[in-house]
Amino acid sequence: MNIFSVTQFVDFVNTSFTSAVFPEGVTIEGEVVEYRVSQDRWIWFVLKDETAVISCFATVWQLRTPLEDGMRVRVFGVPKIYPKSGKFSVTVERVELVGEGALRRAFELLKKKLETEGLFSLDRKRTIPRFPERVGLIASKESAAYTDFLRILGNRWGGMTISLTSVAVQGKDAVSEIVGAFSYFNAHPELADVLVLTRGGGSLEDLQAFNSEEVARAVFGSRVPVIVGVGHERDESLADYVADIRASTPSNAAEMLTPDRREVVAFIDGGMRHVDMAMRAALTGRRDAVSAITAQIESYARRSITVFLHQLKDFRRHFAVFSERLHAKQVACEGFHVQLFSAAAAWSDRLTRRLDADTRLLKTLDPRRPLEKGYALVTKGGRVVKDAGQVDVHEMVDIQLFRGGLRTEVKEIL
């Protein structure tokens, strides 16, 4: 018979458990009782059935599944005797919830915790690009959700670059693979304008990975906006609540990610028609304004010419009277005939030249003559601009040319 020291015996038993008896660890199913957390670091609870109990130990950073007394769970771990206490327990590596009640209760506990921390806050949710060019897709390549997503995406828009990271969407590897996919896209933000996390429907147990704290925090920590479309319309997951946009199904995620090309074409057509109508209305208004200004100029010119012609007529009448008087004087004063005639002729010639000069001057005063020579009439709001100080930079002014007109923006005041 071998004789062991206490330390040797405990080491022998623990080694036997881990290497010979349970090389792959143990899986034990039972009900959680006496659940407690010590110093925010150590977790202790008892797993029991109808006739027996066993102690379990875990750390808070290793055991992320919310537990409380009364839950039925499946514990994965290693049996061990702790040397300092001599107590036999199972060191827990992973816990799976068993039954709809336990899953639902864990869901509610974790939801409350994450909500308290602000992971569901609407203020932090980001908008996705209207027309994303690069999409990071986290899904199972073998799933119907994946094929449905791509089909609808292609039907609605197409032409995008899809970077797929295929992951397990249920089972023991699902959480780590989904978290790893988010880490990958965070390390390569140039690959995606938006991330889509999706899978088809299933039971609450099937969707457990999407209700895990690790996946919820991975969605929360994503550097790019995230759309989550998990399950059917009635299904909900914690990843849904954390996502920037929650889609009811994988197909709905594709619909929310991109617009329908037919709707975009219809929108553009409508916009073009609206712009065309607006431009036509604006041109009509400008044409009417120019016509009104032109009519005002023509009316002013006609009034000026009429006044001048009346003045000219009066001048000729007075000149005729003067000529008659001059002729009478000529008859009366025959001796001064030659001198007076020469003086009158010279004076008449001067007046004629003055009249011609005034006529030419009047023609130059015609408001339309400068336009014919390349000058322009500038107005703002229907009023003539005479001073650069009457306008500001970026104001719109109208320019009347000899033929037609322009509307332009003031870029600089010299």
- End-to-end CA, the chain: 113
Q: Do domains 6-98 and 115-258 have the same CATH topology?
A: no
Token pair, residue 141, equals 């390549």
Neighbours of 222 (CB within 10 A): 23
Q: In the β-sheet with 396-400, what is the strand arrangement from edge to edge? A: 383-384, 377-380, 396-400, 405-409
The per-residue pLDDT for 195 is 95
Q: Which residue has the higher pLDDT, 163 or 293?
A: 163
Q: What is the mean pLDDT of residues 70-82?
A: 87
The per-residue pLDDT for 273 is 74
Neighbours of 332 (CB within 10 A): 9
227-to-185, 223, 224, 230, 251 alpha-carbon distances in Å: 14, 13, 10, 10, 12
High-pLDDT (> 70) share of the chain, %: 94
| CA separation for the pair 40, 61 (Å, rounded) | 10
Neighbours of 316 (CB within 10 A): 11
Contact 120, 114 (CB under 8 A): yes
pLDDT at 370 over 80: no
- The per-residue pLDDT for range 286-332, each reduced to its tens digit, is 777 878 888 888 888 788 788 878 887 887 887 788 778 778 777 77
Band of pLDDT at residue 58, cut at 50, 70 and 90: very high
Cα dihedral: 171, 175, 181, 187 (round 10): -160
The phi-psi region of residue 69 (left if phi > 0; otherwise alpha if psi is between -120 and 50; otherwise beta) is beta
**C-alpha R_g of the chain:** 48
Secondary structure class of 48 (helix, strand, coil): strand
pTM score of the predicted model: 0.53
Quick one: fold of 115-258? Rossmann fold (3.40.50)
Band of pLDDT at residue 267, cut at 50, 70 and 90: low
pLDDT at 381 over 80: yes
Quick one: fold of 6-98? OB fold (Dihydrolipoamide Acetyltransferase, E2P) (2.40.50)
| CA separation for the pair 45, 59 (Å, rounded) | 12
Token pair, residue 278, equals 């607006």
Band of pLDDT at residue 337, cut at 50, 70 and 90: low
| CA separation for the pair 356, 176 (Å, rounded) | 103
Neighbour-count burial of 281, counting CB atoms closer than 10 A to its CB (0-12 exposed, 13-18 middle, 19+ buried): exposed
Q: Which residue has the higher pLDDT, 56 or 274?
A: 56
- The per-residue pLDDT for range 195-223, each reduced to its tens digit, is 999 998 778 878 888 988 999 999 999 99
In sequence order, which residues have a C-beta less than 8 Å from that of residue 354 and are 6 or more positions away?
Answer: none
Contact 65, 107 (CB under 8 A): no
Show me where the domains of the chain are located: 6-98, 115-258, 260-366, 369-414
Q: Amino acid identity of 8?
A: Q
